[in-house]
Amino acid sequence: MREVPSWVESLRGLIFIVVWTVLILRLPAVRRREQRPAWVVLFCLAAGSVAIQAGVARWIDDTTGVVKLSELVVALVALSDFAAVWWFALHLHRAAHPGSTRPHRAPLIAAAVMAIIAVVLFLVTPEADRFGKEAHGWWIAYAIAWIGYGATTATGAASIFWRTARSMRSPVLRFSMLALALGVGAELPYLAIRAVRWFVPGTPAELAVAGFWFSFTRFVVVALACSVAAVEPIRRSVLYQWRRQRLYGLWLLLRRATPELVLHEPRSRPVDLLSPGDSWELLHQRVVEIRDSITHLHDGWATPRLLREAAQYAGPDRLLAVACWIEATRRGARDGAPRIDQEPGQELLPDVRATASTMRREVGQLVRLHRHLTSRAVQDFADRQESSSASSLS
C-alpha cells in the first residue's frame, strides 16, 4: 500500500505517541480562544497519526470490504490537516492585523470542495485505478484537484508563517513559525514528485521514497512546531511565576510597612508560590502593589529635605537614592511616625522602565531596588536619618 522501507513505517508509531502526548497535555487550551487554533491543528495531526498506521488501514479495508477505502480515509484526514494549518496561519495573520480582509473561510470551503471531489471520484473510479501509482481515467481529475488543493494550502500557509515569524518578538514563537513555514513548504516538493509519479510512466522506486521523506518531514516538523507553539503558554506562565517570586521579598517588605493598603494578610512564600490564577495577572498585581506601597510611603513620610539628602548621598546612582528614601520612610511608617502633609515632588519615584509591568526590564529594576534596600549603604543612610530625627526630638 505504501512504497516506503519497512523501518520507516515503524516511525509512524513514534509520531503517534508524540502527537497524542502533546495533544492531551494541551487539552486545557481548548477553553482558551487564542490557543485553540494550534490545538485544532494538533488534533488533525493526531487523527492523521491514527489513520496512517498500517494496522488501522487493514482494519478499515477488512471491516468494510471496500477496496482502498483506508486510502480515502487518509486522504480526507490529510485534506482536513492541510485546511487546519492554513486556517491557523490565517488566524495568526488576523490576530496581528485586525483589519485584514483575507478570506478566513477559504480553508473550510476549499477542504469541503476537495472532500466532495475525492469521495465522488472514489465512487466512480474502478477499483484498480483508485490511488494507483499512475493516474488513469477518472483518477486523473483527482490527481489534478489534489495537487492544486495541496499547493494552494501549502503556499498560502507557508507564506503567512514566514511573514509572521519576522514580526515575532518571542524567540520560541519565531522558531515555531519558521518551523511551520519549513514544514508546510516541504509539501510542495512532495506534490511535485507525486505529480511526476502520477503522470510520467515508469518512474523509479527511489522517487517514491524521496516523496515519502518530504511528506514525512512535513508531518513531523508541523507537529513539533505546533507542539512548541502550544507549549509557549506554559513557558510564559513559568516565566511570569519566576518573575513574581523574584519580587516576593520587596513586596513583603513594603506591604508590611503599609498595612493600611493590604486587604489580605501577606502569605508565606510556599503558599504564595501555589497561588491559583493567571500568572500574568498575579505578576501584574504584584508590581502594582509594590508601586502603590512606594507611592504611599512617598506621599506620607517623604520630605523635600529627605529626598535632597538621599540624592546627595547616592550621587549619580538614582536607584540608590530611591532606595535610601524608601528605607527611611519605611522605618518611619513601621514605627508609627505621623504622616507629613508636604508635597516632596515626584522626581525620585522609581522610573517606569517598560510598556508593561510584567516585562523583564521593569521587574529587573524592582529586583535591583530590593538589593539596594538591603545593602549596607542604604541601611547606614536610614540609620543616620533615625539618629537625626531622635536628636531633633530631644
pLDDT-based confidence at residue 8 (cuts at 50, 70, 90): low
pLDDT digits (tens, 9 = 90+) for 231-266: 777 778 888 999 999 999 999 999 999 998 887 888
Look at residue 60 and tell me whether its pLDDT is greater than 80.
yes
What are the distances in angstroms from CA 86 to CA 80, 99, 217, 250? 10, 19, 17, 47
Q: Residue 306: exposed, middle, or buried by beta-carbon count in 10 A (0-12, 13-18, 19+)?
A: buried
pLDDT of residue 39: 79
Distance (Å, whole) CA 205 – CA 388:
92
* Residue 42 CB contacts under 8 Å (≥ 6 apart), including other chains: 19, 22, 23, 26, 223, 226, 227, 230
330 or 391, which is more confident = 330
Confidence of residue 14 (pLDDT cuts 50, 70, 90): confident
Residue 390 has a pLDDT of 59
Q: pLDDT band for position 10 (50/70/90)?
A: low
> Does residue 112 sit in helix, strand or coil?
helix
Q: Could you report the per-residue pLDDT of 350-389, keeping only the tens digit for each?
A: 776 656 666 878 899 999 999 999 999 999 999 998 887 7
Taking the domains of the chain in order of start, what are their residue ranges?
6-233, 247-393
Question: Tens digit of pLDDT for each residue in 153-209?
Answer: 999 999 999 998 888 877 878 888 899 999 999 999 999 999 999 999 888 878 887
3-state SS class at 377: helix
- Tell which residue, 327, 317, 339, has the closest CA to residue 386: 327
Residues 381 and 28: their CA atoms lie apart, in Å, by 51
**Residues with Cβ within 8 Å of residue 92, at least 6 apart in sequence:** 37, 160, 161, 164, 177
Beta-carbon contacts of 96 under 8 Å, excluding residues fewer than 6 positions away, are 164, 167
Q: Are 269 and 246 in contact (CB under 8 A)?
A: no
Q: Which fold has domain 6-233?
A: Rhopdopsin 7-helix transmembrane proteins (1.20.1070)
What's the predicted TM-score (pTM) here? 0.62
Question: Cell 527611611 maps to which residue?
Answer: 328
